[in-house]
Structure formats: C-alpha cells, structure tokens
Amino acid sequence: TQLLEQSPQFLSIQEGENLTVYCNSSSVFSSLQWYRQEPGEGPVLLVTVVTGGEVKKLKRLTFQFGDARKDSSLHITAAQPGDTGLYLCAGASAGGTSYGKLTFGQGTILTVHP
C-alpha cells in the first residue's frame, strides 16, 4: 500500500507570509496532483506534475516534484485570505496498470488571517 505523508496538517498564518506544504512518500509516483478544497465542495485540481524535478508556477503558488518522484511541495508566496482552504496532494501509481487510482495525503488546512 502506498502512503503519502502530508505536512503540516494545520497551518495558521498572517496575510503576506510565505508557507510551504510538503508531501512525502517512500513510493515512486508517475504523477502527482495538488488540489484545493473549500467547505461543502469537491476538491478542485490546481496542478499536475509529471516529470521528476519539475517546477510549475500558478500565480503565487509554486509546485515542485522531487527528482525521484517520491515527494512534492507547494509553496505559497505572500498568502492572502482567499488562499484559505484544504490543500490535498495525491499521487498516481507508477508502473503496471494503476487504472488512474490516486493515493491521497491527509490534507493541510490552511487559514490565512487578514
């Protein structure tokens, strides 16, 4: 069974601060996705990283996939209250027939105070 350890579980910061969320595993993933979820809604895809060492930027969000494709990070620069939400990482199995199944981290609840 593949596991994804996501940290921290909770993050409470002031507007304007920077933060990083980590996703780590001992398993290799063919791709890794980051989602953001707001209360009462389904997870919304932010980004998919596929290549080891890949870095993707989405405005103030920077996503990185580890060289060995076992870990990933999400960095938010100058956080805003609108960034508040639950952030989830999810990995797709590498090799074989995975049928697109995802392994999710436990999630990081981010609160950005004005």
**Of 65 and 76, CB closest to other proteins:** 65
**Of 47 and 76, CB closest to other proteins:** 47
- Nearest distance from C-beta of residue 92 to other proteins, angstroms: 4
Burial class of 112 by CB neighbour count within 10 A (0 to 12, 13 to 18, 19+): buried
Residue with tokens 């990933």: 72
- Nearest distance from C-beta of residue 51 to other proteins, angstroms: 9
> What do you get for the CA distance between the two ends of the chain, in Å?
40
User: What are the tokens at 78?
Assistant: 């100058």
CB atoms closer than 10 angstroms to residue 15: 13
**Of 33 and 76, CB closest to other proteins:** 33
Residues that bind other proteins (CB under 8 A): 1, 6, 30-31, 33, 35, 40-45, 48, 50, 88, 90, 92, 98-102, 104-107
- Nearest distance from C-beta of residue 114 to other proteins, angstroms: 26
81: DSSP letter: G
